[in-house]
Amino acid sequence: MKVLAALSGGVDSAVAAARAVEAGHDVVGVHMALSKSRAQHRTGSRGCCSIEDASDAQRAAATLSIPYYVWDLSDDFEERVVADFLAEYEAGRTPNPCVRCNEHIKFAALLERGRALGFDAVCTGHYAALRPGNDGPELHRARDRAKDQSYVLAVMGREGLERALFPLGDVGSKDEVRAEAKARGLRVSAKPDSFDICFVADGDTSGFLRSRLGERPGAILDMDGAEIGEHRGAYAYTVGQRRGLGLTVPAPDGRPRYVLEVDPAANTVRVGPKEALSVRRIVADDVVWLANDDDAAAPGVSVQVRAHGRAIDARVERDSTCLHVELGEPLRGIAPGQSIVVYRGTRVLGQATIARAHREENA
């Protein structure tokens, strides 16, 4: 099989490509240049897709003796990931740029170009497993649950699953991957993991938003609508946030307050006590369903609302446009814009974007 191996410059993608070569596939390595700044460098272990990463990817390809190319996808990335990130925050929602990147760049754009060039599949270093099913490949959690990335891959859809390879789905730990990389002579074996948002390499998301959206001062309100502070831009606040609120009036009981709601139309942020964050019911749209139509209603379903969150037992109903989720226990800090992924056991049934989270008091 002719395979396009996405080489990020990290240890995971390098070992995944090595395993694809060892499996007998005809492998070509490609590094996706996503940054509009050609001078972007890593800051410690933050970020990815930097000059250093491109160089590391090239060395890995040379070690594996496979062809290597760099594809400039920076325009696609800016339009489909960065612009979406800004628009979502501006609308008072909490986006997950890694989900959008996997959806639009690492699979859609890569697959589209790869298919045009005659490639059969895309290989990545994601921690997830593909297993054969009655209706095609099924997406499952990785064996290493601590590194499992099925949450951010659920959005790729059935067609994406049919043309994907995840060679690291069966590894026991990241240490195992590093040891294998060292044994194969890959110089990235000790390279630190990247984290945070790759296009916000210094980790200052609020500062990035202000630099792109400008300052828009407005009021911070308590649950009764009284003004208790001022913000520099409502877009910089997320549901569940506690720190950096800029409050000037303490709570009567002295307890900390949390962001409950961001209203971009009124340019206000509403805060309240921790218990007011509890959510029992969720409505989600933009559904990507990977299973049969009736699988959502069957027993044994759980949902996950954060990339590294735990699965929560739930009752899920699916109509023509939305998922309606009743959680088995309350969750806090659920915001519109977040992804919700539905599982049965280790299998991913589908994914959607949270449109409304109903607090317990309103359920």
DSSP 111: H
| Residue with tokens 């099989």, as numbered in its chain | 1
| 123: annotated active-site residue | no
CA 331 to chain centroid, in Å, comes to 19
Task: Give the separation between CA 53 and CA 31, rounded to whole angstroms.
Answer: 9
What is the residue type of 32?
A: M
- The answer to whether residues 88 and 354 touch, using CB atoms and an 8 Å cutoff, is no
- Work out the number of other CB atoms within 10 angstroms of the CB of residue 316: 24
End-to-end CA distance of the chain: 52
- The answer to whether residues 360 and 279 touch, using CB atoms and an 8 Å cutoff, is yes
Torsion region of 243: left, alpha or beta (phi above 0 gives left; psi -120 to 50 gives alpha): beta
Decide: helix, strand or coil at residue 11: helix
Q: Which member of 98, 101, 123, 322 is catalytic?
A: 101
| 198: annotated active-site residue | yes
Q: Which member of 49, 98, 123, 198 is catalytic?
A: 198
Task: Give the separation between CA 32 and CA 40, rounded to whole angstroms.
Answer: 14
Task: Give the separation between CA 279 and CA 329, rounded to whole angstroms.
Answer: 9
Catalytic residues: 101, 198
